[in-house]
Amino acid sequence: MSRPTRTETQLLESRALTIGMVGNLFMAMAGIVAAYLSNSQAVLMDGLFSFIGFTAAFLGKRVTRNAQRKADKYRPFGYASDEAIFKTFRSLSLLGLVIFAMTSAILNIVGYLNGEPQRQLIFAPMLVYFALVGMTCLILWSFHRRAWIKSGKQSDVLQLEQKAAAFDALITGSAAVGLLGIHAFRDWVLAPIAPIGDSIIVLLLCLSVTLQYYRDFIAGLGELAGVTASPQHIASARRAIRESLRTDGGLLVDLSISKLGRYFTVMVYYDPQRQISAAQIDDLTRQLQADIAKLFEHSEVFVVVSQHGRVLSPG
């Protein structure tokens, strides 16, 4: 299958994010209504996750348009950082919600241990909610995954939305199993914790997703800080340009790659080992750009003539 053009990728992203907005808004409203009818904090938390998903999809549409714009006088390094900023703050907002929900659950558990009465859960609205939302999550995950694959697996926004839909499905399914299990065994082995079962489910769900959201936050923060790309990306780039450099006759001194959103910046530190003109360097850069484009559709290659690499030794 041929790699889609940038316009085709942008259309895929826009359509997928629109569907995501509609789906997440539906799940958020369903969660708020079901939480009100059932007195469940776990259902409310699930609905709030969906509301953040709706907000993220709304902002993501603008981000995907901006991320592909070229450098201009206002953004001399381009707009690729918008995607990394989006990824970072989306993960940060989810972490904030998780911390809030955990704090609320812990306070409810402490209150129960201190003798405070707990609200009675009503399970009928939960059954309808879990069935509708679970199916919606799976549909969204499937839709985002197909869009991500069609885009050549290049869109961080679509990949993030795919993962978010999968986690939302996992959270909803886990909440359903936990709450319905507590309801089924509330007069038997789970009787001691049944009054605070809702809070315990919230706490366990938050603990299960905290690590993933933290990793996404650190990954986005690393891109903004200019952290090097993965060793796999660097090794692939070295192999891609090896033949062109061998043909030119020079020596690859150093190679650095940084990732910002979907864009890769490749710095080739090169010793031509002969006199060379600016025009020849430009020609070599174009050739290396073509080599790297086979790996990373969105990339920029810079050739730096140097004997020392990224760290210039004292003269």
What the block records as the tokens of 216 is 């996404």
The average confidence (pLDDT) of the chain is: 85
- Does the structure show a pLDDT above 70 at 150? yes
The conformation of residue 232, written as its DSSP 8-state character, comes to H
Segment 224-254, tens digit of pLDDT = 888 888 889 899 999 999 999 999 999 999 9
- Does the structure show a pLDDT above 80 at 7? no
Regarding predicted confidence, which is higher, 273 or 64?
273
| Amino acid making up residue 155 | S
What is the pTM for the complete model shown?
A: 0.71
Segment 249-258, tens digit of pLDDT = 999 999 999 9
Sign of CA pseudo-dihedral 302, 303, 308, 313: negative
Q: How far apart are CA 57 and CA 305, in angstroms?
A: 43
pLDDT for 281: 95
